[in-house]
């Protein structure tokens, strides 16, 4: 497969375009998924799985997540504009947002039990495995993005992977693609893996191989998907464990 690795100017331009477009695409996907239940609630018709309520915890989560995604877009635009100085300064604030999301993600995951925000094929306690399974993989990629912040190829892929992790399930899962059954949920959940296809293709085009950060990010997404699917399809009693989690 032909690459552009031997043409630095072409590669730099193509790389800026790729990350800018991926960031904008993910933001658009978030908006489409959450417009009926969050951004445009009571303005447009709700999808089959609406948010029953919007307590303060959900508003905080939604606000922080939106700010982080917008910062992700701004960061890619700053790099494209050659303003790496501002990019590095904003990066610290973005990392604070990214880290702050971790406890908020846990809080919303366990507090959703009282909201009964699950699809009809499962119960609120069992459903907690879906948001909880994302937290550690997301934290791993954020940590990798921070520790490799001076190694651009690792950093970019790690941060993009972190964004995909928190966008894939929640956003695609709210789109009216399949019925709210365990089979439909499985199909929609697996569709999230396709978000890594552009990154795989970019790696092959720009490097001639898949970058280790991309492999790690994809592995983290696989883990975040495999654990909930294993619980739902095996009938494992996760509810008994979830009932003992702090905050439930």
- pLDDT digit string, tens, across residues 90-117: 778 888 889 999 999 999 999 999 888 8
Q: DSSP state, 84?
A: H
Of 23, 134, 13, 140, nearest in space to 72 by CA:
23
How far is it, in rounded angstroms, from Cα 234 to Cα 240?
15
The mean pLDDT of the chain is: 89
How far is it, in rounded angstroms, from Cα 231 to Cα 126?
8
How far is it, in rounded angstroms, from Cα 148 to Cα 126?
36
Per-residue pLDDT averaged across 55-81, rounded?
A: 87
How far is it, in rounded angstroms, from Cα 9 to Cα 132?
42
Per-residue pLDDT averaged across 160-169, rounded?
A: 95
- By CB atoms closer than 10 A (0-12, 13-18, 19+), residue 228 is buried
Whether the pLDDT of residue 21 is over 50: the answer is: yes
pLDDT interval class at 1 (50, 70, 90): very low
The CA angle 31-163-122, to the nearest 5 degrees, is 70
How far is it, in rounded angstroms, from Cα 128 to Cα 243?
10
The pTM of the whole model exceeds 0.95: no
| 157, 214 Cβ separation under 8 angstroms | yes
| 69, 78 Cβ separation under 8 angstroms | no
How far is it, in rounded angstroms, from Cα 97 to Cα 100?
5
Of 20, 203, 242, 13, nearest in space to 118 by CA:
242
- pLDDT digit string, tens, across residues 196-244: 999 999 999 999 999 999 999 999 999 999 999 999 999 999 999 999 9
Of 54, 99, 65, nearest in space to 169 by CA:
65
Rounded percentage of the chain residues whose pLDDT exceeds 90 = 60
């Amino acid at each position: 497969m032909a690459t552009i690795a031997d043409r630095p100017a072409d590669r730099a331009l193509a790389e800026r375009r790729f990350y800018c477009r991926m960031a904008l695409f993910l933001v658009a996907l978030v908006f489409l998924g959450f417009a009926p239940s969050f951004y445009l609630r009571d303005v447009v018709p709700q999808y089959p799985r609406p948010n029953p309520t919007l307590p303060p915890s959900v508003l905080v989560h939604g606000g922080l997540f939106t700010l982080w995604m917008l910062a992700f877009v701004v960061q890619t635009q700053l790099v494209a504009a050659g303003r790496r100085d501002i990019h590095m300064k904003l990066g610290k604030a973005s990392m604070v947002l990214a880290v702050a999301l971790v406890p908020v993600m846990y809080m919303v995951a366990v507090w959703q039990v009282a909201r009964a925000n699950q699809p009809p094929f499962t119960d609120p306690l069992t459903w907690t495995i879906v948001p909880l399974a994302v937290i550690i993989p997301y934290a791993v990629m954020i940590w990798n993005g921070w520790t490799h912040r001076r190694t651009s190829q690792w950093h970019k892929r790690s941060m993009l992977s972190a964004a995909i992790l928190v966008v894939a399930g929640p956003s695609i899962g709210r789109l009216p693609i399949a019925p709210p059954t365990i089979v439909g949920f499985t199909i929609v959940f697996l569709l999230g893996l396709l978000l890594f296809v552009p990154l795989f293709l970019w790696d092959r085009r720009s490097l001639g191989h898949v970058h280790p950060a991309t492999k790690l990010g994809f592995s983290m997404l696989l883990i975040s998907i495999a654990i909930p699917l294993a619980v739902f399809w095996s009938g494992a009693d996760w509810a008994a464990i979830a009932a003992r989690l702090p905050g439930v």
